[in-house]
Copies of this chain bind each other. A is one copy, B any other.
Amino acid sequence: MNQFGQKYRISIFGESHGLGVGLTLDGIPPGIPLSIEDFTEDILRRKAGAKGTTPRIEADLPTLLSGIFNGFTTGAPLTIFFENTNTSSKDYSKLKTHHRPSHADFTANAKYKGFQDFRGGGHFSGRLTLCLVAAGVVAKKILGEIINVDASLIEAGGNRNIKKALDKAIAEQESIGGIIECTATGLPVGLGEPFFDSIESKIAHLVFAIPATKGVEFGSGFQAAKMKGSEHNDNFIDDKGTTETNNAGGINGGISNGNPLVFRVAIKPTSSIFKGQETFNSESGQVEELKIVGRHDVCIALRAPVVVEAIAAISLADFKLIG
């Protein structure tokens, strides 16, 4: 299913090289002011163009097909469409047999029996994250002024000096990954539920809906496994739930405790690289060099913080509306 959410529901569609990509948002409260301009900032943050990003630059102008009237949300489904305007005309058909390593070409071909739109990854393309960003913009409006969600790249290629890491990767015709940290402040106590609807469960679910993610950790994360209980426990200092430390990342028993929500996401190096790769070609029946000549990002993690921020906002908006 290409749908997610309990009360704030997102449904995405589209392909990298088809007419476009889009989304329907259901469950938006009526009366939220919303305009095309509201999407500009976050869409720009996701956009290519900076060093280390792909030269494919799309206009990414949203068309609001429904759900808006006189500048406000109506309570009816909001459908947003982004036309594809800059699709390259090159021939993608060899991807049907010479599958790119660590892409979804092979699995998509197996699952969809060869009927998938394989051009530029089709429905599996990172371009679909544009839909997540758009859903995040509306989610942030639902969250309101007091709740603030913020994500940034804290490390690329194993290096805190991101510029340096990028220069090196470009010089080597390589790609690199990175780590994104996301924080949400101003959350009320009591969002989320134990077990299957824990805040961590919903956020982690959406984190792995972002292509290229390999891991997620909350608060102390993997470091927790090396800590002692007395170091790790977050002592309360008042009756509002404020804690001395925040190893919990703002969540106890799946439920927000009023401290900042903190999680980190590991992004793998972009799978498309300029270097040749020795990989099986099912047409010839043997391992052969594959040269990927399309346009792609050296470090997709550069464009991902706003996507991570979006999925955090989507999760939290859903929890807020559930009440």
Contact = CB atoms under 8 A, between A and B. Distances in A.
A274 B58 CA distance: 51
Contact of A225 (B31, B179, B220, B275): B179
Contacts of A277: 230, 233, 235
B116 A75 contact: yes
A221 interface: yes
A193 B29 CA distance: 13
Contacts of A269: 224, 227-229, 231-232
Interface stretch (A1-9, A49-57, A139-147): A1-9
A70 B280 CA distance: 26
Contacts of A91: none
Interface in A9-35: 9, 11-15, 18-22, 24, 26-27, 30-31
A226 B165 CA distance: 10
A273 to B, nearest CB: 4
A291 to B, nearest CB: 13
A157 interface: yes
Interface string A210-240: 0101111111111111111111111111110
Given A107-B241, A116-B69, A79 B14 contact: yes
Given A2-B195, A9-B1, A208 B215 contact: no
A239 to B, nearest CB: 5
A191 B197 CA distance: 23
Given A204-B205, A214-B220, A253-B107, A233 B273 contact: yes
Given A241-B107, A252-B103, A257-B107, A27 B1 contact: yes
Contact of A270 (B193, B229, B266): B229
Given A123-B76, A204-B216, A233 B271 contact: yes
Contacts of A169: 228
Nearest to A129: B195
B213 A19 contact: no
Interface in A158-198: 158, 169, 172, 174-179, 189-190, 193-198
Contacts of A14: 65-66, 77, 79
A115 B4 CA distance: 25
Given A102-B232, A123-B194, 10 more contacts: A18-B65, A24-B24, A31-B115, A69-B116, A101-B243, A106-B241, A196-B209, A201-B205, A204-B208, A227-B269
27 contacts: A2-B24, A2-B26, A2-B195, A13-B24, A13-B76, A15-B69, A30-B112, A69-B122, A74-B123, A76-B112, A76-B194, A101-B236, A101-B243, A107-B241, A174-B228, A177-B225, A196-B209, A201-B206, A201-B208, A204-B207, A215-B218, A216-B216, A224-B266, A228-B269, A232-B269, A237-B279, A323-B323
